[in-house]
Chains A and B, each alone.
Chain A
């Protein structure tokens, strides 16, 4: 076998091995997307009921609560960025990070100091590499977040928003995550969690102009709101974590699918080249034999005479 042909054969072998790996990763990601989607669906009833309840208290009473009232001139804001622990997901993490950076720039232009909270190793690595300050970070659960994880993330954020701004608290809480639109589309979005825009929340729950009944609050509207809002934030963060996980798996699936496709194409090209090299080798051998034979024939014909 010629040197050229051997090189092609070796490359084909290596690309085939890579293709097997990416194919396996694609299938794993595909099954995880379905699982993650199911978790999103399972968490929906709780989130819906909770949103309804928050709206009911917010609109049904004149309660003023630090979590629903906007500060006159907000000076500090917290941004929670959700990324994944692992890469191999195309532009998933860089899109989320880019959205967070845009939001941070906008808030800073508006004269707010921004504290960044990050979930996922990728985001942490990005910020550490650029030596930017991270207020707090969590890693290790982005593939399959549980409600306990969401609580863990929410706790310091709620604490920060309840503190006075002068003592290191924040006035606003923004969240940046990747929304799972469909298998093919995931978009990085940012939204303001707190202070709550009750009219917006109300529009979400009752689009048909449904009138909420006048509730009796047990023990009192303030206490109910006190207990409700942290749960509301937790459930929103939980939902964002789940959507982000589903999006990550979908992005991985797509990235791995195109890697598999590219590997297949590469194998095709390489086998064509290998075939051509083999054919060239054979042709050369034949012409060598023919040339040799005719030279021999010429030589014997000459000696005869």
Chain B
């Protein structure tokens, strides 16, 4: 049985990742949600957080997603985000600097963005 779902991770200005996967875990406003093939059609609001995609080859793709939506129907899953970055695209040093800066400036949203990026990177290792 081809237990696969097609995933499209798109940011506002580009397609970030697309491919086949067996499991996608994302954080919605009401908690983490895992989507596997055959899930009920779903449309949810995403929180800032890392999204984990287990590809059908067994690899794991992690992306930092800042706000957006998850929609799933007919074994096709789309993750829409205003900003989305794959973990290997994230510049760790830059995110760390941004985190420090955000903490110093007490900018909660910037701090969360930087934190999500760092968590996405560390989750891979």
Contact = CB atoms under 8 A, between A and B. Distances in A.
A52 B71 CA distance: 9
Interface string A21-40: 00000000000000000010
A223 B30 CA distance: 11
B42 to A, nearest CB: 5
Size bracket, chain A contacts: 20 to 34
A275 B15 CA distance: 60
Nearest to A56: B43
Given A53-B69, A231-B82, A219 B15 contact: no
A235 interface: yes
Interface string B74-109: 100010101000000000000000000000000000
A57 B68 CA distance: 15
A207 interface: no
Contacts, number: 86
B110 interface: no
A147 B33 contact: no
Contacts of B80: 46, 49-50, 53, 231
A209 interface: no
Contacts of A43: 12-14
A146 to B, nearest CB: 7
A42 interface: yes
A224 B12 contact: no
Given A49-B71, A56-B71, A215-B73, A224 B44 contact: yes
Contacts of A49: 8, 10, 71, 78, 80
Contact of A223 (B29, B33, B78): B29
A166 B28 CA distance: 36
B36 interface: no
Interface centre among B10, B12, B41, B73 (most CB of A within 10 A): B12
A238 B12 contact: yes
Contact of B11 (A46, A52, A53): A46
A254 B42 CA distance: 48
Contacts of A212: 73
Contact of A213 (B10, B41, B68, B69): B41
Contacts of B28: 218-219
Given A49-B8, A52-B71, A53-B69, A219 B13 contact: no
A201 to B, nearest CB: 15
Contact of B44 (A46, A146, A147, A219): A219
Interface in B1-39: 8, 10-15, 28-30, 33
Q: Which of B69, B70, B73 has the most CB of A within 10 A?
A: B69
B43 A217 contact: yes
A218 B13 contact: no
A218 B45 contact: yes
Contact of B15 (A42, A147, A215, A235): A42
Nearest to B79: A49
Contacts of A214: 41
Contact of A146 (B13, B41, B73): B13
B122 interface: no
B73 A227 contact: no
Which are the 3 A-B pairs with shortest beta-carbon distances? A218-B44, A213-B41, A147-B12
